[in-house]
Amino acid sequence: MLTSSFDVVDLLTRDHRLLERLLEELDQERQPIQASLLFVRIVRELAAHETAEQGIAFPALGAALPANNSGERERLAEHREINQLLAEMQRMMPEEPGFEARATTLRLELQDHFHSEEMSVFPRLRACVDRRQLVDLAEKVMTARAGDPAVSTASSPRGGHS
Ligand SMILES: [Fe+2]
Ligand SMILES: [Fe+2]
């Protein structure tokens, strides 16, 4: 069962760790088929993660903050750059020149992005949004993901491994 202390920040942080692990594996994978499978998984996990952030967690923070909020806009721009990199990689085969370099860039970009979220947005979520609401938001994300078999149990407090 869910523990009442597991909130949406725990869930998003857990996603970050899973994605970092998968991105590291992709960076080191030299077998094209394995790299392809890993990449497909990363795209799905990342999409689920961004949906949870932009559709569920960040709006809750937006609602709790004053209207002038340029930090959030910067972070949405970061998401756009990452999505562009993903779109380029989706049009490539892993054995094509340039894929490996993009995989490395993607890993580094996301590492930075996760770090900046964990240093700024996540603490503000905990500071500005009511604890009970943060726990409710985690449940909301998990309920949304329960219908998506492509997304791992990384979002579950019990899971996290594949
Ligand atoms: Fe993000
Ligand atoms: Fe994130």
60 in any annotated domain? yes
Average pLDDT, the chain: 87
- Lowest pLDDT segment from 11-20, 38-47, 118-127, 141-150: 141-150
43 in any annotated domain? yes
Query: Within its chain, how far is the Cα of 116 from the centroid?
Result: 13
Report H helices in the chain: 8-28, 32-51, 58-64, 70-90, 99-116, 122-128, 131-146
Question: Where does residue 100 rank: exposed (0-12), middle (13-18), buried (19+ CB within 10 A)?
Answer: middle
162 in any annotated domain? no
26 in any annotated domain? yes
79 in any annotated domain? yes
2 in any annotated domain? no
Residue 151 Cα to ligand 1 middle (Å): 17
Residue 119 Cα to ligand 1 middle (Å): 12
Q: How many domains in the chain?
A: 1
3 in any annotated domain? no
Average pLDDT over residues 130-159: 79
Q: Tell me the residue range of the domain where 35 lies.
A: 8-153
Residue 122 Cα to ligand 2 middle (Å): 9
158 in any annotated domain? no
